[in-house]
Amino acid sequence: MTTRVVPVLDHIVLKPVEQEEVTASGIVIPDTAKEKPQHGHVVAVGPGKMNEAGTIETLDLAPGDRILYQKYTGQEITVDKQEYIVIRFQDVLAKLEEEAATVAAGGRARK
């Protein structure tokens, strides 16, 4: 049986993106020297936060989105041996989107 993590209010559940353990030159980075990740994949999004007018402000994120969030924020949790980070919507800095490799009209690669 698996457990589903369902965030409340304006909370977001993320699966952190793991950092490379070996550099391009072959140097192994120990766990103690690694920086905490600052981006992750959205697993679940809460319904939103109620504003002063009494209406719920929904969050413009969906499961599968990749986001950049503030450093040293959130709560790390483990559910069914899977690690997650729960953050508030206010800690989201940006949504990361992949750019198309070529321009449709010209066919040239973007820089």
Give 15's contacts (C-beta < 8 A, 6+ positions apart).
40, 41, 43, 82, 83, 84, 85
Q: Is residue 30 part of a domain?
A: no
Q: Positive or negative CA dihedral for 96, 101, 106, 111?
A: positive
Distance CA 59, CA 32 (A): 34
For the stretch 34-68, pLDDT in tens is 566 688 999 999 999 888 998 988 889 999 999 99
Give the CATH number, domain containing residue 49.
2.30.33.40
**Average pLDDT of the chain?**
82
Q: Is residue 31 part of a domain?
A: no
pLDDT value of residue 39: 86
Q: Is residue 85 part of a domain?
A: yes
Q: Is residue 25 part of a domain?
A: no
Distance CA 52, CA 73 (A): 26
Residue 75's Cβ-count burial label (10 Å; 0-12, 13-18, 19+) is exposed
Report yes or no on whether pTM surpasses 0.85: no
- Per the structure, the complete domain to which residue 78 belongs is given by 1-19+36-111
pLDDT value of residue 99: 78
pLDDT value of residue 85: 94
Domains: count for the chain: 1
